[in-house]
Structure 1
């Protein structure tokens, strides 16, 4: 066990990235213009429905066009200067074309959709940058440097150099990566490794900047400059992974250049060629305008967005925040899953799972401990631990309270980092702590070895120097974790890979419980990134599921990153593409299944839109398609694909997604 800590540590008080100053939505120019366009559009629609004069709602529609359209129009013109034609300019031309023939509402709706999409993308980028900056605050701004003459001085942590000696007092964060020179303490380094329990540190042990010291004072020799600490490298890896990640595009955007060029060329040809052969101007212009309208990608854009946006809304109602339509599309593309352990597949808090008595050798895994030797063992251990703030000590006390055991009075509480606690219980000296720190008889040592080989954290209980028993504690899997793992495996045709910074024994025990065949344990953040990239090098599209600061680089590097919401660090939540708000693991395979259904609807809609466009274009080219009929056909296809995409708004869509993989 550990000493009483000045600052609580462990999963209940795990050091996470401090609160960051997040970019407010309307602080971004893109968001302000999109909000203005949306407001003007809704107000115009309302005034039109209420029967206001045409000039009134016409002016409001014009405001929507101007506020929502000027930025994509400017972007499209810049692209045109670089001899490329993108969908930004094409959408503006289509919207203006719709307005030119009286379809002002449809053009304004297209403008609003485009402006809102750009604003969401800008906001996501800004918030990720905010969190990366906030991560740097994990490392303290100052450190206590010990000079050559033994005096102490407070200096900025950034000026520490390799070879300096720093003093870290109880409850402080470590200011630099280094190695312990002297002192004994326990350090919560879950931000770096994801380990659920504080790690005992003594002379010769490595420590990391930004981790939280326990009750003992440590003198540390600095081994890395501030720019090369593990925390600094996590920041660099997140930024690098975010910037080098393959460009995210919706399906329609992948063909936008060719489609845009083809449409413009065809429209100009349809206008210029008849004129060159003496065709009438008015009729030729009307025919070309009709062609541009019926061939414009309005229906194609709406074929893509409503299913994805509907899936986002449905997932949000059921506790999964998907940050954009692009992310929703990518979720359905995943072919492999990598999963963190602590705080993701497990609750992140140790619990008492095994009790062994030294007198009888009995094993109790749960069940009643209301009396007998086992009840006495747990009550005595809890009485000694009742003043401890160590996560293991709190778990022992909680187990005794859950079983309604009366705790005997204890006095003389004392603790030693890395060793355990000592107290006088009913007039007898009771010690509870690390088995490696005590001289144990062979039979007790065998019990300890058996528990540790099963992935438990073993804690020995002695009374008056004689072993009373051994307690086994473990971080238990979340509810339905095994079922979530199985369903993810069914959806991707391969079971997830466990990536964890925890020790190999604990990782192997959890993997055995959940049926995970591949385990990589003891990983630092950069090693998790390497594991994700190794899978992607094999042609897989990887979904990374995690919760901690140490998971953020791999969340950014993966094809799609998903974070657990309740215990997730600020950086992980902002870096991830989606967040499981309620920490329900079954929601992860469900949202993947929902995304796949949304992508199937997108394909259906594209076929419908394509058939309408092909039919109307052929009619216009081969005959004389009346403009009103062309507009009706174009708008009809838009309505059909829109309604088809909205099918995913029903709760039955989520229930169906939950059932997939069974």
Structure 2
């Protein structure tokens, strides 16, 4: 049962109606989900009546309705496939269910129908959610932009009408309408959606800006350098779709297996019925043997041999804060042998925090007083650095005085009157004007350690430097070491942040392969490079800029607490509680599930082979055939359910080795 992500008509270009809000597909609006739900309800209603021996007229119509509601769609799909001269497992399952009903095994057939309908519903939900999240990404770009004409008059136009060479005006607080380069103005631009950088970036003349990024407090004139359909945001959408399509070869392989199994089973069943009749065998006994073969050769045991371990592992992971979206993902997690980690929001908390307070002359101005003055000046500002300073002052229970005459200069900082003195807080490069003094030395030291340095001046005289950094997660180093032990290679750090900050953090957690300053397409290239080397790559990230890499990887995991919608939907799994340590645990749990799958397949194969040989070589009584078939199903199901226990998670968390 396969489905594909339909490319929406708006995904091919930038033209769209900005007034249309992002909409999520309602789950019950999907026909596959509705029919599967109805089939399940009918099955649960009929089951107790059947088991207690109620009259046939009570439960038979309910089971018949299960066959119709859950089986008509895969049955119709299988019939449609016959037009293309293919025979898939959709039709095989329906035929097996019908065969079971034909010889009185109505319950077996209904259970097959319910399992198959449910898997189709889950696949439809995953496809719809992916389409929703790609649509949400395009909504990051504004619907309109202010274009400046030759006479400097302003004109509001749809972003899809912008052309290379146009000049647009971006006012404070607006999203930039196209990829381009700044002609005039200065501002701080929040481009976390593109690069993942936790702090806004100062932009001035000749600096590059991207569509969908958020302008700060300054006004910018931007020359459009890319057609909107070629913007970074649009290319992210394309890459997500292309990466999803690259998984098709695996699906094609599965379909080939289905085709061969289906043809073999149907051919054997027909032969088992027709050949004896040619030699004068009794029709009724021959039909009974053929239908018995259909039952004992049914893949029920094989299906349950595979699913219970994986579903149990999924349920266990879910209880511990890891949402694994499908059994295919749970199985794939156990195959990874290389890990690529994002920095901001993955190894770090994603929120800038004040780490250092360095007064130039502690005898004249203490740390507390320096922080109090800086917090007062920053208090009216909405800049992330300002919030970090204010929060640090509050955490130390400092009284923040009221600031007067507040002023903010994009790319420079803020100034305000505090307790009768003029306090400035901002960029050392702008405030120092090339002066050679102790403040410059402190600034260089902080920046070499990967911090963002903030200078504080009092009436024009530097009085101290503050250091702000994105704080490393407590479990980052231990989790990185565990992933290294698990895969046999050190993880790779892929980040859009600057190289200095990335290398400092990598050194703290023990990562040696650092790739910094990457745009989304460059992260995808890094992942593909690893895959060309024969690795099955696990990518862990949280931002929109990570989504293409998450989709391109063998398996993608998103950090859930602050993760973007697109990352959460594109990823194969989500760490809901933001606990980095759960990643290596769920990989180990997946490997245990895969080992149980192999055990169960052996058990199921032995039972099915034995029963089929008995039916072909002798006379297999139907009750024994059903008992053997159902017995193997129960054995493999119970074996797979072992992973539901909390002990399985604890062992996966603490065990070492690969």
| One of 193, 196, 199 as aligned partner of 1:194 | 196
Partner of 1:325: 327
Q: Using the alignment, how far apart are the partners of 2:457 and 2:613 within structure 1?
A: 89
Deviations 1:411-438 (A, max 9, x none): 2222211111112233222221111111
2:368 aligned with 1:375: yes
Q: Using the alignment, how far apart are the partners of 2:101 and 2:174 within structure 1?
A: 64
| One of 257, 269, 272 as aligned partner of 1:270 | 272
CA contact (8 A) 1:234 1:526 kept: yes
User: How far is 1:251 from its partner?
Assistant: 10
Q: Determine helix, strand or coil for the equivalent of 1:44.
A: helix
User: How far is 1:282 from its partner?
Assistant: 3.0
Output aligned runs, 1:22-61, within 5 Å: 22-49=24-51, 51-61=53-63
User: How far is 1:173 from its partner?
Assistant: 0.7
- Report 1 or 2 for greater relative contact order, CA contacts < 8 Å, sequence distance ≥ 6: 1
Deviations 1:234-271 (A, max 9, x none): 11111111122245559987733332222222223333
| One of 380, 388, 403 as aligned partner of 1:395 | 388
The runs of 4+ residues in structure 1 deviating greater than 6 Å are: 250-254
CA contact (8 A) 1:337 1:496 kept: yes
CA contact (8 A) 1:252 1:300 kept: no
CA contact (8 A) 2:100 2:294 kept: no
- Provide the TM-score with structure 1 as the length reference: 0.92
CA contact (8 A) 1:487 1:660 kept: no
| One of 442, 466, 470 as aligned partner of 2:465 | 470
2:600 aligned with 1:598: no
User: How far is 1:151 from its partner?
Assistant: 1.2
CA contact (8 A) 1:591 1:657 kept: yes
User: How far is 1:409 from its partner?
Assistant: 4.6
Q: Using the alignment, how far apart are the partners of 1:234 and 1:471 within structure 2?
A: 36
Partner of 1:631: 626
Q: Using the alignment, how far apart are the partners of 2:477 and 2:21 within structure 1?
A: 33
Partner of 1:430: 423
Q: Using the alignment, how far apart are the partners of 1:489 and 1:558 within structure 2?
A: 18
CA contact (8 A) 1:590 1:660 kept: no
2:127 aligned with 1:125: yes
Q: Determine helix, strand or coil for the equivalent of 1:567.
A: coil
Partner of 2:615: 620
Partner of 2:412: 419
Q: Using the alignment, how far apart are the partners of 1:570 and 1:247 within structure 2?
A: 27
| One of 71, 90, 106 as aligned partner of 1:104 | 106
Partner of 1:83: 85
Q: Using the alignment, how far apart are the partners of 1:462 and 1:448 within structure 2?
A: 13
Q: Determine helix, strand or coil for the equivalent of 1:422.
A: strand
CA contact (8 A) 1:488 1:661 kept: no
CA distance 1:92–1:571, shift in 2 (3 Å): same
Provide structure 1 residue ranges, at least 5 long, that are not aligned to the other structure: 1-17, 363-370
Q: Using the alignment, how far apart are the partners of 2:34 and 2:114 within structure 1?
A: 12
Deviations 1:388-411 (A, max 9, x none): 211111111111211223334532
CA contact (8 A) 2:446 2:452 kept: yes
CA contact (8 A) 2:71 2:113 kept: yes
Q: Determine helix, strand or coil for the equivalent of 1:494.
A: coil
User: How far is 1:51 from its partner?
Assistant: 4.9
Deviations 1:50-86 (A, max 9, x none): 6532122111001111111111112222223323222
- Provide the TM-score with structure 2 as the length reference: 0.93
Partner of 2:346: 344
Count residues in correspondence.
636
Deviations 1:167-204 (A, max 9, x none): 11111111111111111111101101111001111111
CA distance 1:649–1:251, shift in 2 (3 Å): farther
Q: Using the alignment, how far apart are the partners of 2:103 and 2:313 within structure 1?
A: 33
Output aligned runs, 1:13-412, within 5 Å: 20-49=22-51, 51-248=53-250, 255-359=257-361, 373-412=366-405
CA contact (8 A) 2:585 2:653 kept: yes
Partner of 2:11: none
Q: Determine helix, strand or coil for the equivalent of 1:175.
A: coil
RMSD value, Cα: 2.0
Q: Using the alignment, how far apart are the partners of 2:175 and 2:379 within structure 1?
A: 26
Q: Using the alignment, how far apart are the partners of 2:295 and 2:114 within structure 1?
A: 18
Q: Using the alignment, how far apart are the partners of 1:106 and 1:277 within structure 2?
A: 32
- Choose 371-380 or 133-142, whichever is displaced more: 371-380
CA distance 1:409–1:134, shift in 2 (3 Å): closer
Deviations 1:606-651 (A, max 9, x none): 0111111122122223322211111111111011111111222222
2:654 aligned with 1:659: yes
User: How far is 1:443 from its partner?
Assistant: 3.0
Q: Using the alignment, how far apart are the partners of 1:581 and 1:218 within structure 2?
A: 38
Deviations 1:506-552 (A, max 9, x none): 11111111111111111011101111111111111111111111111
Deviations 1:107-149 (A, max 9, x none): 1111111011011111111111122122111111111111111
- Choose 78-87 or 53-62, whichever is displaced more: 78-87
Q: Determine helix, strand or coil for the equivalent of 1:472.
A: strand
| One of 517, 530, 538 as aligned partner of 2:525 | 530
CA distance 1:172–1:208, shift in 2 (3 Å): same
Q: Determine helix, strand or coil for the equivalent of 1:138.
A: coil
Q: Using the alignment, how far apart are the partners of 2:596 and 2:111 within structure 1?
A: 21
CA distance 1:338–1:254, shift in 2 (3 Å): farther
User: How far is 1:49 from its partner?
Assistant: 4.4
- Choose 242-251 or 560-569, whichever is displaced more: 242-251
